[in-house]
Amino acid sequence: MNRTLTVTVAAGAIFATILAAPVCAGSREDLLVQYAAAAKSAGFSAARGQILHTQNSSGGKADTPACISCHGKDPRGAGRTLTGKSIDAVAVSVAPTRYTDPAKVEKWFRRNCNEVLGRECTPQEKGDWLTYVISQ
Amino acid sequence: MNIPYRPIALGVIALFFSAVVLGRTQAGGNHFYAPVADPVVKDECGSCHHAFAPSMLPASSWQRMMGDLKNHFGDDASVDAATAARITGYLTANAADAGGRQYSGKLLSGVALNNAPLRITELPKWVREHRKVPDWEWRHKDVRTKANCMACHVDAERGYYDE
């Protein structure tokens, strides 16, 4: 009886682990699929994402001309908000749990694109940017 | 039965003194403000700036602030309705004139509650406590803004705002 229980629990644990691992990576891929569908895109480019991340824009706020104003020049390094709070690195290699909550990703795209560009980002831009940070 | 009055009396006195001292420490000479305990509030408020203690503003201020997150000191800090309701509930329940009264002390003196101030840094007590900080220190690259409590108050995350 006890043995059956142990085996069941162990099997359950293994099954849960197998299930849990792809769920994390999967939601990032799901997001890319959604953005691709919305953009009717031929594909995303990490290079374009990098340009979006680093270039200055005049459409947004004067104290945040680019993403790197707060996120920092090095995608693998921590950033800093204007009020002095540290921001986790954007690169997935450094922050592997990032971009696994779609609502959170959308929330920050909405806020940050408005701050830097003065408008929301397009699905194409979101896909490019996500591809860039996944590649880093 | 022989009751040992002296040791008991001494014990009671010792307890009384520790209570007084502990009470002072808790209030930190009015420099302790219980930090945000709700994980959602801590995460949402604390991702851009220090998660300010709810006892630093009256409930009317928190209500006014949460009513206009789209324009939060010039930034868009809007959250979904359910999250906003949870944050508002926590902040008002623990506000300086509600559950956080034990920490706020004289912070609200000279503050008109119907006026609902939004900036902690404009409360008379805040201004008085920081009057000796020179201008160049505020402009220092590690400070930059009066909202950056931790730059000087190293234990602010845990609620201590001593010098």
Confidence bin at B8 (pLDDT 50/70/90): confident
Give the length of chain A.
136
Q: How far apart are CA B128 and CA B109, in angstroms?
A: 12
φ, ψ (nearest 5 deg) of residue B72: -95, 90
Confidence bin at B114 (pLDDT 50/70/90): confident
Confidence bin at B67 (pLDDT 50/70/90): very high
Q: How far apart are CA B8 and CA A125, in angstroms?
A: 74
Whole-complex ipTM? 0.70
- Selecting from A83, A103, A115 the residue whose C-beta is nearest the C-beta of B148 gives A83
Radius of gyration of chain B (CA): 19
List pLDDT tens digits, range B130-145. Answer: 999 999 999 998 898 9
Q: What is the pLDDT of residue B1?
A: 65
Is B142 within 8 Å of A110 when comparing Cβ atoms?
no
Looking at residue B7, its amino acid is P
Is B49 within 8 Å of A81 when comparing Cβ atoms?
yes
Q: What tokens appear for A35 in the block?
A: 């953005």
Q: Which residues in B have their CB inside 8 Å of a CB on A? A: 46-50, 74-80, 142-145, 147-148, 150-151
Ordered alpha helix ranges (H), chain B: 5-27, 39-46, 59-66, 81-93, 101-104, 124-129, 135-139
The shortest C-alpha distance from A58 to chain B (Å) reads 17
Angle at A32 between CA A107 and CA A130, to 5 degrees: 65
Radius of gyration of chain A (CA): 19
List pLDDT tens digits, range A33-48. Answer: 999 999 987 899 999 9
Residue with tokens 């956080």: B100
Contact B78, B55 (CB under 8 A): no
Q: How far apart are CA A62 and CA A56, in angstroms?
A: 10
Whole-Å CA distances, A54 to A76, A95, A107, B118, B155: 14, 19, 20, 34, 34
Q: How far apart are CA B54 and CA B95, in angstroms?
A: 5
Go through the domains of chain A in sequence order and give each one's CATH number.
2-135 (1.10.760.10)
Contacts of A83 in chain B (CB under 8 A): 48-50, 144-145, 147-148
Ordered alpha helix ranges (H), B28-159: 39-46, 59-66, 81-93, 101-104, 124-129, 135-139
The proportion of chain A whose per-residue pLDDT surpasses 90, expressed as a percent, equals 70
- Selecting from B49, B76, B79 the residue whose C-beta is nearest the C-beta of A83 gives B49
Confidence bin at A20 (pLDDT 50/70/90): very low
Confidence bin at B29 (pLDDT 50/70/90): low
Give one word for B89, left, alpha or beta, with left for phi > 0 and alpha for psi -120 to 50: alpha
Nearest residue of A to residue B143 by CA position? A84
Best mutation target among A85, A86, A90, A97 (most B Cβ atoms within 10 Å) is: A85
